[in-house]
Amino acid sequence: MDRKDNELLSVLRQNARLPISAMAQKLGIGRSTVRQRVSRLEKLGVIRRYTVEVDESKIGESHSAFVLISFMPGTSSQREVANSIAAIPGIEELYLISGSWDMIARIHATTLEEIGSIVIDKLRAIEGVSRTETCSIFSPVKG
């Protein structure tokens, strides 16, 4: 990876649908060079996937929250518990983290009550989840 690769990744992070010609112009390099670099970064696994950023409020999912999750060892491993949590509809992201908590999840839902139902009825029902702390998101600043 060199400086141009990092610049290319920055351009892709801003808009992964930008045409190759526009990326080439922004980076000051040829289209075939951009195409080759993107292909190489995909093959190396640096670029794993292309995705879409959805404005949840436009589709009725206007409530979001982060949920801190504590794992209690028992019959399941932490990774098995994490996979069970990740399969819950409404859980958009889930990370294993360090510190006082073991995992953090981001939830999107149509109502605050739905977030509560996801946490209380589904997430806390998973064996190995010992406690949770839910933090409602008021408004995004960057993300």
Query: What mean pLDDT do residues 105-122 have?
Result: 94
This model's pTM is above 0.75: no
CATH number of 56-136: 3.30.70.920
CATH class held by domain 3-43: mainly alpha
Query: What mean pLDDT do residues 92-109 have?
Result: 96
Q: Burial of 119 by CB count in 10 Å (0-12 exposed, 13-18 middle, 19+ buried)?
A: buried
Domain 56-136 in the same topology as domain 3-43: no
CB contact at 8 A, 108 and 63: yes
Query: What mean pLDDT do residues 103-114 have?
Result: 93
Confidence of residue 141 (pLDDT cuts 50, 70, 90): confident
Give 120's contacts (C-beta < 8 A, 6+ positions apart). none
Helix (H) or strand (E) holding 20: helix 20-27
Query: What mean pLDDT do residues 105-133 have?
Result: 95
Domain edges within the chain: 3-43, 56-136
- Distance set, CA 66 to CA 27, 101, 130 (Å): 36, 12, 17
Q: Cα separation of 136 and 107, whole Å? A: 9
pLDDT tens digits for 78-92? 999 999 999 999 999
pLDDT tens digits for 32-76? 999 999 999 999 999 998 887 777 667 665 789 999 999 999 888
Residue 60: predicted pLDDT: 61
